[in-house]
Amino acid sequence: MTKGEAFAGLSVATTTPFRDGEVDYAALRAQVEFQIEAGTTCLVPSGTTGESPTLTHDEHERVISAVIEAVAGRAKVMAGTGSNSTAEALPSTRWAAKEGADAALLVAPYYNKPTQQGFYEHFKCLAEQIELPLCVYNIPGRTGKNIEPETIFRLAELENITMVKEATGSLDQASEILATTNLTVLSGDDSLTLPMMAVGAQGVISVAGNIVPKDVIAMVDAFQNRRIDEALAWHQKLFPLCRDMLGLSTNPIPIKAAMKMLGRDTGELRLPLTPLSESEEAKLHRTLTAYGLL
């Protein structure tokens, strides 16, 4: 049994809908209902997919609170509260705990590129002052530096560090963590969910789950129940969609474009993010059509 097993399955990294430059809280509540109806284990607001870098501090907190209120205990909420400043991450995570979040997702400090000891001290400070289960989000492609397995081994000894969102793209790193800790590992790359589950991961924090949560759940459930051929069939169906959600352009540009095509979002982004080009939109439209969504 792993430390964060209650968060196994599908967690969805939700988008933050905008309308005329402002957060569209009605659309956000509709997103929550869509995920609840699908049976999603956990919603993850105000992360990368939620455009946290361009939310104001007030918006960041309001989005988390709005999702917790809308969920109303029907699923779990893992609030994105990470920062490259420990002094900023601490009050944000405290806010999420006060509002009733079930866990917090803490991205590795970015841009200032801490040493491995700096990573350890950052997460240790948060773990010692916040009672929530904490998920370490390791995504060196965005943050500029990997949290090495040896550092994660040390972090695993802290009681309420219970999960890792593993987005290094390295099955070797995931395997090392799984072999030497009792942390719950969640895939941070949709297209690698099944391969990562094959080495011991217990689910995914998904982008594609914004539009096809039932299908991602079906794949995860099939693997967990040892229906390997069925899980592989779902993986092969989902792969082109997952590839485009993270490959056509920077996340969350493609997922917002897809949600607009499906009539579930305005597609609005905040600078410096910009919409897909015409050729990229056409490719995404073909992918959604081939999948059967259009």
Residue 283 in 3-state DSSP? Answer: helix
Beta bridge partners of 104: 79, 134
Structure tokens belonging to residue 112:
């200032």
- Taking a C-beta distance cutoff of 8 angstroms, is the pair 79, 66 a contact? no
65 in the Ramachandran plot: left (φ > 0), alpha (ψ -120 to 50) or beta? alpha
Catalytic residue among 120, 137, 145, 256: 137
E strand intervals along 147-224: 161-166, 184-187, 203-206
End-to-end CA distance of the chain: 41
- Active-site residue flag, 120: no
CA-CA distance, 70 to 90, in Å (whole number)? Answer: 24
Task: Return d(Cα 138, Cα 152) in angstroms, integer.
Answer: 10
Tell me how far apart the alpha carbons of residues 68 and 99 are, in angstroms, rounded to a whole number. 7
The DSSP symbol for 291 reads H
CB-CB neighbours of 243 under 10 Å? 15
Q: Which residues are catalytic?
A: 137, 165
